[in-house]
Amino acid sequence: MNILILGSGGREHALAWAIRQNPKCDRLIVAPGNAGIADLAECAALDILSRAAVTEFAQENAIDFVVIGPEAPLAAGVSDALRAAGILVFGPSQAAAQLEASKAFTKEICDACGAPTAAWARFSDAGEAKDYIRRQGAPIVVKADGLAAGKGVVVAETLDQALDAVEMIFDGAFGAAGAEVVIEEFMSGEEASFFVLSDGEYCLPIGTAQDHKRVGEGDTGPNTGGMGAYSPAPVLSDALQARVMDEIIRPTVAEMASRGTPFQGVLYAGLMIEGGRARLVEYNVRFGDPECQALMMRLGAQLLDLLHGCAEGRLDQLAVNWAEDHALSVVMAAQGYPGDYRKGSEISGLDALPEDSFHMVFHAGTAEREGRIVASGGRVLAATGRGASLAEAHQRAYALIDGIDWPEGFCRRDIGWRAL
Ligand code: AMP
Ligand code: GLY
């Protein structure tokens, strides 16, 4: 099978790493890829948001199967264009990607299928939004409706913060993504992520994870794309997973199918858990980053069979082979991230590190310059360990971190603290 993966982050490095190990994978191209991905696949420059460019590239390279990593090409309808050209794709249609691209859409789906979630309202007028907030009181959550690279959510502790957030969003801080705001009841509890494959009809859970969104130790400081993650998430017991499948996931997938927009791909449910019950915070329509790095270490080569079977609508015939294992991923970011940071600093020590089914340093934002690896993004590396216990996975991940020589980078030393 000739396979094309779209994306360039740690998530796509982990997907490529798992897929490459499957003997059914003949040729593997990742577009655009990064310096770490280049060690195990061909990298190709390609505008992955262009439906025409991606389709043409896939045809020219006799690609049999495309795996779409990030949300932006999904929201841009790249999967629809590929399917129209007869190419097998893992990833939802543009219509089904609305589950991530519009928060109001997701809330409507939840209401229609009875999935538990925070009470909510939507507004396209700032005055009305503010009146509603004043009536509800704080704490309260204000969200730009559309895709805002994870930055469009303000969890307001005071009324003033919530009112400011409305101003900021309607002032255009997130462009078109902020044409509407969604205001939600604040939910307390513990957050966890649940990953489920859906072929449009059948659903297959493929793992749980918890991530650390804040930049600072003890989960403090500004939000980031994620500074580390571990899998499985102890808070999502088997019983609770079964309940989430019954109350949230299957009803959502059935509702999407009944609307003529079946969801095919990975549904990443962000859940808030309190008192043994889970409510939906949000859906993403792709793997989480860095949750994916931890998940892929656990799934390994079978990932390709799962994604391919999902795309072909054969999920009901598949099962996951679980090992009794744990994985933990620690992100190294450029100093200054998530604010301003410098690009181009050199990273050394990577060559001497082990690369096997227990240790992998996935690259998130790296480039090669004259034979050297340099940082080219905010989140740069994801050192990932796997072991029989979370403590062992943790020890292996941090042993990798300690072997990396990158004075201009930093990481949190406490990834996994809640579960350890
Ligand atoms: P989202 O992009 O919708 O996942 O929101 C980002 C983060 O904001 C979530 O991971 C939660 O930590 C927090 N959040 C979002 N909605 C709520 C809510 N209704 N109650 C409490 N926290 C929330
Ligand atoms: N780690 C959070 C995300 O990928 O959205």
Structural domain for 205, as ranges = 190-317
Q: Provide the residue-wise pLDDT of the chain in tens; the chain has 420 residues.
A: 999 999 999 999 999 999 999 999 999 999 999 999 999 999 999 999 999 999 999 999 999 999 999 999 999 999 999 999 999 999 999 999 999 999 999 999 999 999 999 999 999 999 999 999 999 999 999 999 888 877 788 999 999 999 999 998 888 888 888 788 999 999 999 999 999 999 999 999 999 999 999 999 999 998 898 999 999 999 999 999 999 999 999 999 999 999 999 999 999 999 999 999 999 999 999 999 999 999 999 999 999 999 999 999 999 999 999 999 999 999 999 999 999 999 999 999 999 999 999 999 999 999 999 999 999 999 999 999 999 999 999 999 999 999 999 999 999 999 999 898
Question: 338: cis peptide before it, omega within 30°?
Answer: yes
d(CA 86, CA 321): 30
For residue 203, being part of any structural domain is answered with yes
Distance 96 CA to ligand 1 centre (A): 21
Is 229:290 a contact under the CB 8 Å cutoff?
Answer: yes
What is the C-alpha to C-alpha distance for residues 31 and 49, in angstroms, rounded to an integer? 11
- The answer to whether 201 and 261 have CB atoms below 8 angstroms apart is no
Cβ of 291 closer than 6 Å to ligand 1, yes or no, is: no
Ligand nearest to the CA of 117: 1
Distance 277 CA to ligand 2 centre (A): 22
**What sign does the CA torsion over 395, 401, 402, 408 have?**
negative
Distance between Cα 210 and ligand 2 center (Å) = 10
Determine whether the shortest distance from the Cβ of 211 to ligand 2 is under 6 A: yes
Task: Report the CATH number at residue 265.
Answer: 3.30.470.20
CA dihedral 224, 32, 207, 395 (to 10 degrees): -70
Q: Which atom of ligand 1 lies at the shortest distance from residue 152's CA?
A: 2
**Distance (Å, rounded) from C-alpha 420 to C-alpha 61?**
46
> Are 166 and 133 spatial neighbours (Cβ–Cβ below 8 Å)?
yes
- The C-alpha atoms of residue 34 and residue 355 are separated, in whole angstroms, by 17
174 and 211 together in one domain: no
* Same domain for 305 and 255: yes
Q: Is the pTM of this model over 0.85?
A: yes
Ligand 1 nearest-atom number relative to CA 184: 19
Q: 91, 106, 139: which is the final residue of a domain?
A: 91
How far does residue 243's CA lie from ligand 2's centre (Å)?
23
- Give the distance (Å) from ligand 2 centre to CA of residue 127: 32
Q: Which ligand is nearest to the CA of 191?
A: 1
Q: What sign does the dihedral 379-383-388-390 (CA atoms) show?
A: negative
**Residue among 132, 123, 110, 309 at smallest CA distance from 206:** 309
Residues 58, 61, 67, 71: is their CA dihedral positive or negative?
negative
The ligand minimizing its distance to the Cα of 219 is: 1
If you take atom 4 of ligand 2, which residue's CA is the nearest one? Answer: 288
* Degrees, nearest 5: CA angle 364-370-375: 25
**Residue 230 domain flag:** yes
* Pocket of ligand 1 contains residue 155 by CB under 6 Å: yes
CATH classification at residue 353:
3.90.600.10
Q: Provide the 10 A C-beta neighbour count for residue 285.
A: 24
Question: Is the same domain home to 308 and 403?
Answer: no
- DSSP 3-state assignment of 319? coil
CA of 58 to the centre of ligand 2 (A): 27
Q: What is the DSSP letter of 187?
A: -
Domain annotation covers residue 97? no
Ligand 2 neighbour 145 (Cβ under 6 A): no
* Rounded distance from Cα 225 to ligand 1 centre (Å): 13
Residue 120 lies in a domain: no
